Amino acid sequence: MRTKDRKFNFHPKCAPLNISHLAYADDLMLFSRGDKCSIEILVKSLQDFGDASGLRVNYNKSNIFVGGVNEFDLQNILDIVDFGQGSFPVKYLGIPLAPLKVSVAQYAPLLDTILDFLQAWNTKSISYAGKIELIRSVIQGVQSFWLQVFSVPRMILDRIISICRIFLWGGKYAKVAWDDICLPKEEGGLGIRDAKVWNQALLSRTLWDVHLKKDTLWVKWINGVYLNGKNVWDFIPHNRDSNFMKSLAKIRDKIRGCFNNRNDTILGLASRSVDGKLISSKIYELLRIKGTVRVWMSFIWKSYIPPKFSFMTWLAFRNRLPTQDSLGYLHIINRCDLCKGDLETMPHLFFLCPFTCRIWGKIREWLGMDNQMTTLQSSVKWIIKKYKGSTLKAKAVRLAFCAAAYHIWRARNACRFDDCLKTEDEVIAKTKHVVYKILFSLYPHDLIKF
């Protein structure tokens, strides 16, 4: 190979591993020191490759990137090569490559991609539950592509959160804080990952690979250029070091703070890896802020309960439905639209209002339930205790509870905003229809006797 020529000088950051080129798919990157002899050797190598294979460089799609070279030497280099000088950052595989820290402005493609998705979805009528699923499956997927490469600035992550918050709540005030939404469902959240913590969890995989000294060029390069044979746990970044290495050191220190000492840290990470690969989701669980487990969450989030029912019931349990008593700042008259009598509060709307009391009474009679329903919390506790397991009856009762609560809220909204008063029988009929429809799909061969 021509790089063995004594006149060839490796790029200073490539010299420890004698890296002269990187190839990915049909892309080729060549590296050398910025001197005339080294450039001539690389150009001659490309010519020899073309003569041997018949493949020629596309000069219109090729660039040379130079740093730390004076104007005289730069002109000599440009006279040797037949393609133009490029400038950083350059987009490669969808992300920017730059010799320095990626600036906030250079994250614009990430924000633009997310905004394009959200603007397309905003033209459609999507439920809250549907929006949450789009954020979880699509937006966080787009994020992860960048989060596993860069330590994304807090400003960018906060902007993404703001965009998603507006998309979810429709530009209105946020009914639930984003930090609470990022908690797991069993802790009262919606299972959306905290982007800041997820960024650290994804980058921690590189930390573990470096610790294991994995046989990859990337890990070898970090060990050769930055660590110089030292242990990654002893690495102290300097001002001249890359932003990535500084971020890696911060993540290392945060993980180490979760354990008593270095040995416990290494054992803890090893227990969260499979075949030498660190599991990001387990590191996320290690680093995230923990909430309190809430019994009622396991009640409403079931695969057989439609997400829109679960979401509305979730808001009700968090006391975040916009009942009139919570909208006092709007100076509106507080009166229950269903009974036209008492003040509208959460307890009144769902259990004390004569309209809803009659609905619950007929639902209980239909399902053979002998308890009185007075609050959401007490009702759920009783149902969990009375109807354990995953029997047909247990599913029917849970499903009926969430469906009835959902249709009561819909009836309230229809009365308030459309001046359309639903009858009790209409609400009960809709509840029964949903329950029977889902149960028949779950148990097509069983006889449902209620």
Model pLDDT for residues 346-382, shown as the tens digit of each residue: 999 999 999 999 999 999 999 999 888 889 999 999 9
The pair of structure tokens assigned to 232 is 């990654």
Highest mean pLDDT among 134-138, 236-240, 326-330 belongs to: 134-138
- Residue range 292-317, pLDDT digits in tens: 999 889 899 999 999 999 999 999 99
Residue type, position 426, single letter: E
Is the pTM above the cut of 0.85? yes
The pair of structure tokens assigned to 414 is 């229809």
Does 330 score more than 80 pLDDT?
no
DSSP helix/strand/coil, 208: helix
Give CA–CA dist 286/281, Å, rounded.
9
Average pLDDT in the 75-93 region? 89
Q: Which residues, 6+ apart, have CB-to-CB distance to 68 below 8 Å?
A: 34
> Which tops the pLDDT comparison, 56 or 181?
181
Q: What is the DSSP string of 42-97?
A: HHHHHHHHHHHHS----GGG--B---S--HHHHHHHHHHSSSPBP-SSEEETTEEE
Average pLDDT in the 177-192 region? 96
Whole-number pLDDT of residue 1: 57
Does 323 score more than 60 pLDDT?
yes
Whole-number pLDDT of residue 329: 67
Q: CA 182, 186, 187, 188: dihedral to nearest 10 degrees? A: 70
Q: What is the DSSP string of 311-339?
A: HHHHHHHTT-S--GGGGGGGT-----TTT
Q: Centre a 10 Å sphere on the Cβ of residue 36 and count the other Cβ atoms it contains.
A: 13
Average pLDDT in the 377-389 region? 92
Q: Is 152 left (phi over 0), alpha (psi -120 to 50) or beta?
A: beta
Q: Which residues, 6+ apart, have CB-to-CB distance to 154 below 8 Å?
A: 196
Does 144 score more than 70 pLDDT?
yes
- Residue range 212-265, pLDDT digits in tens: 999 999 999 999 999 988 899 999 999 988 999 999 999 999 999 999 999 999
Highest mean pLDDT among 78-92, 215-229, 262-276 belongs to: 262-276
Give CA–CA dist 159/114, Å, rounded.
11
Residue 60's pLDDT band, with cuts at 50, 70 and 90, is: confident
Give CA–CA dist 9/352, Å, rounded.
84
- DSSP secondary structure code for residue 17 in this structure: G
Whole-number pLDDT of residue 401: 97
Does 82 score more than 60 pLDDT?
yes
Average pLDDT in the 29-47 region? 92
Q: Which residues, 6+ apart, have CB-to-CB distance to 349 below 8 Å?
A: 323, 336, 338, 356, 408, 409, 412
Give CA–CA dist 335/323, Å, rounded.
10
Report helix angle 108-121 to 140-147, nearest 10. Answer: 170
Cis amide leading into 89 (omega within 30): yes
Average pLDDT in the 270-280 region? 96
Whole-number pLDDT of residue 2: 66
Query: What sign for the dihedral angle of Cα 324, 326, 329, 330?
Result: negative
Please name the residue that has the structure tokens 């507080």: 334
Give 192's Cβ-side CA count (13 Å radius). Answer: 27
The pair of structure tokens assigned to 444 is 């097509």
Mean pLDDT of the chain: 92
Give CA–CA dist 135/160, Å, rounded.
11
Burial of 219 (0-12, 13-18, 19+ CB in 10 A): middle
Residue 191's pLDDT band, with cuts at 50, 70 and 90, is: very high
Q: Which among 268, 95, 282 is positioned nearest to 202, based on CA atoms?
A: 282
Residue 5's pLDDT band, with cuts at 50, 70 and 90, is: confident
Give CA–CA dist 418/427, Å, rounded.
16
Give CA–CA dist 272/145, Å, rounded.
22
Say if CB 139 and CB 162 are below 8 A apart.
Answer: no
Mean pLDDT is lowest, of 130-134, 200-204, 402-406, 421-425, for: 421-425
Average pLDDT in the 440-446 region? 90
Residue 24's pLDDT band, with cuts at 50, 70 and 90, is: confident
Residue 352's H or E segment, with its range, is none
- Residue range 199-209, pLDDT digits in tens: 999 999 999 99
Does 327 score more than 80 pLDDT?
no
The domain ranges of the chain are 2-87, 104-193, 198-287, 295-442
